[in-house]
Every structure is written in C-alpha cells, then in structure tokens.
Structure 1
Amino acid sequence: MNVMKANLLPRAMAPSSVSTRNLILLLRRKPKASPLIFFSRQYSASISTHIVGDSPILVRDFIHKALYDPKHGYFSQRSESVGILDKSIKFNQLEGRKAYTKHLNRIYKQSGISWFTPVELFKPWYGHGIAEAILRTADLSTPLNIYEIGGGSGTCAKGILDYMKLNAPSRVYEHMKYTSVEISTALAAKQIETVGGVSSHASKFKVECRDAADWSGWGEVNDQPCWVIMLEVLDNLPHDLIYSASQASPWMEVWVERQPQRSELSELYRPLQDPLIIHCMEILDMAGSGLDSASKLSLMAKSVWAKVFPRPRRCWLPTGCLKLLEVLHRALPKMSLVASDFSYLPDIRIPGDRAPLVSTKRDGSSSDYDNYLEAKGDADIFFPTDFWLLERMDHYCSGWKMMQQQDKSAKKGKKRRTIMLDTSAFMEEFGLPSKTRTKDGYNPLLDDFKNTKFYLSVPTHNIK
C-alpha cells in the first residue's frame, strides 16, 4: 500500500447492512472544439496554488499532486490514518452480521482510524490466500522472489511470510526474498517493524523507499522468475482525461490551468500530442483499426447519428497503470502478477467513462465532490479498474500484442496466461473461508466484496 493506497472499499469493510455506496466510503458543458486551437472550459474550482502553478499541467499530474504531493497531498497528510489492528478478529465467535457490525464500529471508535484495508481486517487469512495462490502457481525449483508495490503497514508481507514458513517446503522459505517497494518513508518504517516481529523473516524482507513507476529505481533487468503483488494500488494511480465536443469530433487532451489573478482552476483542451495518452488510446483501439466489418459499420452509423444529435464525450484513461506496467515488464520480464481492486464504483458524480469517485471526510461523515478539480489535498480520488483493459495493457506491455501485429503467426500463443476472479471466488479457491465465517454463516470477506476482483497474470512459453 504505498503512496497509492489507503482509503478504498475494502478498506473500511462495513457490513452490507449499509448501502454499497456507503460501504465504499466507510471502507474507505459543451464547448466547441477544434484541433487547431486551445480551449478553456468553465469547469472551475477554488484550489490551493500549491497544486497547480503558473503553467498548465496534464490531468494525471494534477491527480498525482493532489494525492501524493509531499506537503499538500491527500496521502502525505494522512499516512498515519492507515489502521493496524492489535489482534485478529475472531469471526467464528461473532453471532452474525449484526454482531460483526457492532464489533467493527467499536474498533473504529476505539482506534480513531479512518479506514482499515481488507488485508488488515481479515488478517492473517487474506494474506494467506494470496500466499497459497503463489505457492500453487510458482516454479519452486527456483528461489521464490516477491515484490509488493505499496505494502501499507506490512500486514500482507508478514501474512505471506508466515504462511510460507508454515506450509511451504523448508527450502522455499529459507531461500525466498520479499521486497516492498514503498514511496512513503513512514509506511516503510512501519513495514519493517511489522515484519520484524518474527525474527526469521528479517533476513528475507527489505523495503526500498521509491516510486515503483520510476524505471531508474529498478537498476539492472532481473530476468529471473518473480511475483509482483498490488493490493488496492490501481485505483489511486493517476489517470488522464480526454474530451470530445461530439461523437464526430476529434479527441483532445485535457490540461488543468489556474485562472489568472484567481485561485480557481479550469480545463484546457489541446490536440492529442502526449505519447502516453496516445499509446493508451491505441491499446484501447479507440480509432477502431482492430474492429471487424460489422463493428466498423456500427461506428459509421453512430457517426451519422452524432451529427444529428451531437453531445460531448469524456473518457478517463489509466495512463498511470500503463506506465507502471511498462516499467514492471521492462524491469521484471518474467514476473507473475496478482492484483486486487474495485471493478466498479456506484453513484459516481464525475462525468466520463471510468470516472473516479472523489470523496472527503468532514466531522466523521463522508462527502463526495461533483468536480475533480475541487480535490486540493483534502480528498481521496479513486477509480474503478477496467479489468478487461488491465488485461489488454498487460499483454501489450509484455510485448505480445506488438509482436502479434508484426507477425500473424504470434496469434498461436500468448506471452501471458491471465484470469480474473471475484474476490469471493478467489478466496474460496485459495483461502480458508471458514476462518472468516460467523456463527450464522455470514461471511463478510465473501459477502461484502461484490465490486472487487483479483487479477492473476503469469508468463508462458507457448509462443510459436
């Protein structure tokens, strides 16, 4: 849980007696456009000048600053709010949903913490499920090497190391390495403290305090098999925004600028030129070049209809995720990946495909923003994960999609084998559901995570 984690759905894990929307918060305009000139939309918000200076910045840079600026970012100001339970919850001793709700409320009241992550609420069982998935899938003939991006308080790392010590062949535990890549110095120190509680783990665990998306921090390419874990990381990665005045108009990059003589922000539209945005659009095939004839005819029909009833379009692009995957595949070409995140978020007020939820907490109650520009270091900005797109980006970054375009014979085999599972399905397959079940059969780990999924991706060698 590095820079990019802290306040999401599973984080607070309120029982489903409340609405799905409250569960997430607990647990966590028609300008004309032309490609030849720049436009500024009156979509403004009062904000600190620390986030945006005199020059316009891309939306992804605005989000990164609003969340991670060392002095004014949301997570920088709230790193100590990540909850750590003194002891595991004894679910088998709770009568049911009502008792779980009461117990959870008592924990929050006593701790004064804003949120708990699922790996914390369901420790050690959540981490054990991930460890079992790795143990079943990994090639144990080579030393087990695990990287965790954004390890939070270190609970996942400790859970996995504990499980390997108790259940893996002794040689696997003795020779394994576990590296946490953590951008927060405070959380890095906490991880060392948490994992160091078991003396035998110390020689196997280390923290590298850096940004995982920065290629320079990885050093030389590691071509040995390894695992990468990302729990609730993708939702807080910066996204870009593109805008089109109508279905028939070209897409434009969205930039954020500060209004002269005012402390307000507005959007600025520019022709597409950023390489990362363009690359992400190519992967989505937004130009339709990879569509079959029927799909192209459908697009043509929509284009004609758009001229009659034009309407603006907004689309959020996971460019932060794309950049991270590009770096990981370059630095760790034989990595296996396990990621968990939201598959959808309800009641989003921000317009656009894959739009984020922007939420803050005041006087103990959550409040959502209608405008992402209002986030000025006091609000969480988190996105649903499009798992189909995640898989597509994973294949592209592994090099297979590009090879497929250049050599049609590459269609006979992929460089990655992938699977997407609901959290309940993942835990039923790899975890111990009986350990998180209450007396009457209610299981918060299985019942309260309907909008989260796991993504597993491993390298294969069946390319022909």
Structure 2
Amino acid sequence: MFTRSPTTKKLFFFFRSHKSHFSTNIVGEKPVLVRDFIHSALYDPKHGYFSQRSRSVGVLERSIRFNQLEGRKAYMNHLDKIYKRSDISWFTPVELFKPWYAHGIAEAIMRTSQLSVPLQIYEIGGGSGICAKGILDYIMLNAPARIYNNMTYTSVEISPSLAEIQKETVGEVRSHLSKFRVECRDAADRSGWGDIKQQPCWVIMLEVLDNLPHDLVYSENQVFPWKEVWVEKQHDKESLFELYKPLEDPLIKRCVEIVELGKNQSVSIAKSVWSKVFPKPRRCWLPTGCLKLLDVLHEVLPRMSLIASDFSYLPDVSIPGERAPLVSTKKDGRSLDYNSYLDTKGDADIFFPTDFWLLERMDHYCSGWMKPHGDNSTKQGKKRRTLVLETSAFMEEFGLPSKTRTKDGYNPLLDDFKNTKFYLSVPTHNIK
C-alpha cells in the first residue's frame, strides 16, 4: 500500500500502524523524522519522559554499604527492595555506586589533565547531580587546593526538574556552589554555547549517548539504497505509521557515510550475491543525535577531552534493526518493554546500545581528522587518541574496587556491568 505526495512527488511506503493514542500527540499534522519523534517522546515539555518526571532518574537515600552485604544474593535482594520503593525510577551506575564511581572518573581526569591551567569540566545530562558532587568532593579532598579553588564545573541539562535536583545535590557541600552551575538547555543546540572556548577542558557524558535521538533507515534488501524513515499520523488520528523516503536529510546522509567508510568491498560483493538468493529487508538505527552533539562540541570546545560511559549492547531487544533500542517503563518495580518505539506515551525510556567503534569514527570525523569522500581540502583536523575500556578495566585502573566488594568477594560493579564500556578521547596536543 502506498500513496504519492502531490507536492514532493516522492514515494511513500506504508509499514505498519500502531494504536498509540497518547503518542500521536507528539506528531502534528505533518510527518516527522524518527529522531524528532524520539526527541519529543523523551524531552518534550508536555509529553517527554525526562521533562515531566524528575524521578525518571532514581536517587538513593544513602550509599550502599557493599562490605556489609554477604554476596550477590544479598545485593540483588537489596536492589529489589530499592526499586520497589522507587516505582518509576532508574538507578544509574554512578548513583548505585556513589561516591566510588564518580571518584574513579575524577581520578582519570586528574591523571590526564593539564594542571597548569584551571580545570574546566562540562557534564552533559548530569542526572541527579551525584557525579558532579562526587567529582568535586574527590578533587577537594585529593588535589592541591589551587586546583579545587580555581576549577569550574558546568552541567548542561535539558530537563528543568533534573536541573533543580542537581543544584540541591551539589549544594550539600557549600564550597562547591561557587564552582558549579547548571545551564538548562539542549547541549546539541549550537546557539546555547556562545563563543568558541579555546581552553583545555573535559566533557563527561554518562548514560547520555543511549538517550540521544536516533534516526532509522530502511532498505528493501541487502543492496538496495537506504531510505529515511518518517513517522506520520493515520487519518483516524489515533495511530502512527512509518513512511519511507529517499535519503535527503543531510545529517542522516553524513551518518550513513561514516558507517559506510572503510567497509570491506569483498564483503559488499558477497552481500550483493547473497541478496539475490535470499533477499530480505534491512533496518538500521543511526546515532544522528550523537553525531550532531559531537559536531557542536568539537566546534565550540576544540581542545576538549571526552569521557563517556554507556551500554555496549542491550539484552532481549524485540524491536527490529541494527543498533535497535529498548523501549521500557517500570511498574511495581518491574520492567515492562514495548514492542515498538511508536507505542511510547511519554511514560517510557527509549535507550540505545552504543556502537563504540562507530563512536570513535564519528569522533575523528567531527574533529576533522577523518575526511568524508570527495573532501580534497588540505586542512587537516587534530588527531585524537582514543581508548575503549570495559567498565571493570576502567574501575580497576582508576577506581577503588575494594569499596564495592561484598563479604564473599562478589563485586557488582566489576562483575555485573559486562555490557557497559568507557570511551576516552583526548586531543594529541593535550598529551605530553
């Protein structure tokens, strides 16, 4: 089933409709790209999951005393009780393992920073503010006084409710307030950053990449060209369906180009042969929100060092497509997953796995080091040194694993977070 638009003369394909009465409020009379639909579902002031729910990010009343727990069973029982008391909350690793998780990040920053200049830290999507407080605590207690006294810590937070919580959390230590500020805005919006800042700085993003808007592209088989996916209301106004258009959006086209860069030609030939025998449709989720954010960060903070942590894969994903998300909410302390991203009602988190190989390529691309096809300019961006570490490896190097170990030796931070990684990226001129 398809129709032809009288204005754009592009072919639209009907995919499938979803009875999603509340989510249709996100889409107006005109179709929107998937990334815009996801952005509204998560951050829209009226319908967004994070904008309206200050408790979408859980806050523990007190730190977990791991050395008083017998082992894994005791820890899981303790965690189950916490989640049942906080019905709609999610607890990030930096919250579950406070203050030790943030202390590990602070140690990594201290070891690799130019301490001859004032330390500047930006955190994107600071959640409850526990990371900011933990880092400020650690530097206050462990660094020379001049480092703490001269440092600045800026949180860029899109959610007004979370911005207020961050101020309260960091304000528990009065001396932190003169170093800390929250800017309530979208970090991917270039206009909010003002002038380019040439000073060295750190940018922290913890569990941010997974919630950045993604686009979706579709192909009828393994060799047909990609089409960009849009979301539109049906005439009954109570259901949504997908439209497929030829690639035209510049951001999607750039992201596809980065994904395709360096692909093995022999593999492409094999796919072409295979598609003739067993043709099947393809769906691929593209981290266009991440690409846009990295574009902005590299422009306004050209000497930034970056540290990010996120999921490298997600289990039990039922939504189709490469790098597909989980769409999940909580009820009575239990997770409930949706089968389609179109069913979101502003009550569900939409989070994606991070392809760290692709993240590294986008980082180099946005810094100007990796060039797109057809770019013959002589201008070369700064090469960056990058490192991807399992969470356990990062914490063993920079953290204090003994603080998150139970009596029998079980360590949930090292043993349970096998699907999370850290990404570190520094400009070469920041390395001696």
1:432 pairs, out of 393, 400, 408, with: 400
1:34-57 Cα distance to aligned partner (Å, 9 max, x none):
x97422323111223311111010
Specify the SS of the correspondent of 2:178: coil
Q: Unaligned 5+ residue runs, structure 2? A: none
Specify the SS of the correspondent of 1:434: helix
Q: 5 Å matches for 1:434-453?
A: 434-453=402-421
Q: CA deviation at 1:260?
A: 1.2
Q: Indicate whether 1:178 and 2:147 are aligned.
A: no
TM-score (norm 1): 0.87
Specify the SS of the correspondent of 1:220: coil
Q: What is the aligned partner in structure 2 of residue 10 from structure 1?
A: none
Tell me how far apart the structure 1 counterparts of residues 392 and 349 of structure 2 sit (CA, whole Å).
Answer: 26
Q: What is the aligned partner in structure 2 of residue 201 from structure 1?
A: 176
2:18 pairs, out of 45, 50, 58, with: 45
Q: Which letter does structure 2 place at the counterpart of 1:44?
A: S
Q: What is the aligned partner in structure 1 of residue 323 from structure 2?
A: 354
Q: What is the aligned partner in structure 2 of residue 119 from structure 1?
A: 94
Q: Indicate whether 1:381 and 2:350 are aligned.
A: yes
Q: Which letter does structure 1 place at the counterpart of 2:89?
A: S
Q: What is the aligned partner in structure 2 of residue 231 from structure 1?
A: 206
Q: CA deviation at 1:379?
A: 1.8
Specify the SS of the correspondent of 2:90: coil
Specify the SS of the correspondent of 1:165: helix
8 Å Cα contact 1:31/1:245 also seen in 2: no
Q: CA RMSD in A?
A: 2.4
Q: What is the aligned partner in structure 2 of residue 420 from structure 1?
A: 388
Q: Indicate whether 1:251 and 2:210 are aligned.
A: no
1:336 pairs, out of 291, 302, 305, with: 305
Q: What is the aligned partner in structure 1 of residue 271 from structure 2?
A: 302
Tell me how far apart the structure 2 counterparts of residues 174 and 300 of structure 1 sit (CA, whole Å).
Answer: 60
Q: Which letter does structure 2 place at the counterpart of 1:114?
A: S
8 Å Cα contact 2:49/2:56 also seen in 1: no
8 Å Cα contact 2:43/2:49 also seen in 1: yes
Q: Which letter does structure 2 place at the counterpart of 1:319?
A: T
Over 3 Å counting, the alpha-carbon distance change for 1:409 and 1:108 in structure 2 is closer
Q: CA deviation at 1:64?
A: 0.8
Q: What is the aligned partner in structure 2 of residue 399 from structure 1?
A: 368
Q: Indicate whether 1:72 and 2:47 are aligned.
A: yes
Q: Which letter does structure 2 place at the counterpart of 1:312?
A: P
TM-score (norm 2): 0.93
1:49-86 Cα distance to aligned partner (Å, 9 max, x none):
31111101000011111111111112223222422222
Q: CA deviation at 1:434?
A: 0.3
Q: CA deviation at 1:360?
A: 2.4
Specify the SS of the correspondent of 1:446: helix
1:170-205 Cα distance to aligned partner (Å, 9 max, x none):
111111000000111111111111111111111111
Q: What is the aligned partner in structure 1 of residue 422 from structure 2?
A: 454
Q: Indicate whether 1:134 and 2:109 are aligned.
A: yes
Over 3 Å counting, the alpha-carbon distance change for 1:106 and 1:263 in structure 2 is closer
Over 3 Å counting, the alpha-carbon distance change for 1:403 and 1:258 in structure 2 is closer
**% identical aligned pairs:** 72
Over 3 Å counting, the alpha-carbon distance change for 1:95 and 1:305 in structure 2 is closer
Q: Which letter does structure 1 place at the counterpart of 2:219?
A: S
8 Å Cα contact 1:415/1:462 also seen in 2: no
1:235-256 Cα distance to aligned partner (Å, 9 max, x none):
0100000111112211111101
Q: 5 Å matches for 1:137-152?
A: 137-152=112-127
